[in-house]
Structure 1
């Protein structure tokens, strides 16, 4: 999400995202679909996606998340990559967007 948010004009494909994140094309395609389904990204055509939050409220929350990440990069990165799934789940829960 943060990568797409960094430049909303960039069109991302699964292949491009996979190369940038060092993940498989299949996982990148799944991530793009999840971002689309969550209202964070919009699918422009068959393969291209870009950052396009579905509401101003969601865009504001994502901005807050980006700010927290930039202020606490090491702590959040450690939490994301920790082997304790409960800690990572707490982070996800803290920033989970609940559709009304």
Structure 2
């Protein structure tokens, strides 16, 4: 697995990909239980959230391409193993969060609100598409 000397990179990855602590805990839970798919209410129960909030978090993570909605009724979600690099990042995130829960939680709590970041991302994507 990846070496642990790249802890600075893992913080940047978390700041870039993860909106809040519940998002981080949800994706880590799905990562650690892969390939099991979860109902939003199951995730809500494990993370002490409402079903609506858990569904919102799962949809946010799906937009970030960290989880996927599994074709089932009712909808279930699982970790999305897009490539080996993402799996390596998730390994690093999991290890870092276990070792530095307070530091990472504090870092995420002090982060710019997601609505502001989404607005900025829209401009970054548009800029990337220009010739």
CA drift of 1:31 comes to 0.9
State the match for 1:73 in structure 2. Answer: 101
Q: How does 1:1-100 map to 2 (within 5 A)?
A: 1-45=27-71, 46=73, 47-77=75-105, 79=106, 85=109, 87=110, 89=111
The SS at the match of 2:36 is coil
Structure 1: 5+ residue stretches without partners? 94-98
TM-score calculated relative to the size of structure 1: 0.71
Q: Does the Cα contact within 8 Å between 1:36 and 1:42 map onto a contact in 2?
A: yes
- Distance in 2 of aligned mates of 1:25 and 1:40: 19
CA drift of 1:42 comes to 1.5
- Distance in 2 of aligned mates of 1:5 and 1:80: 21
Higher alpha-carbon Rg = 2
Misfit runs of 4+, over 6 Å: none
The SS at the match of 1:33 is helix
What is the aligned-residue RMSD (CA, Å)?
2.7
The SS at the match of 1:4 is helix
Higher helix share: 2
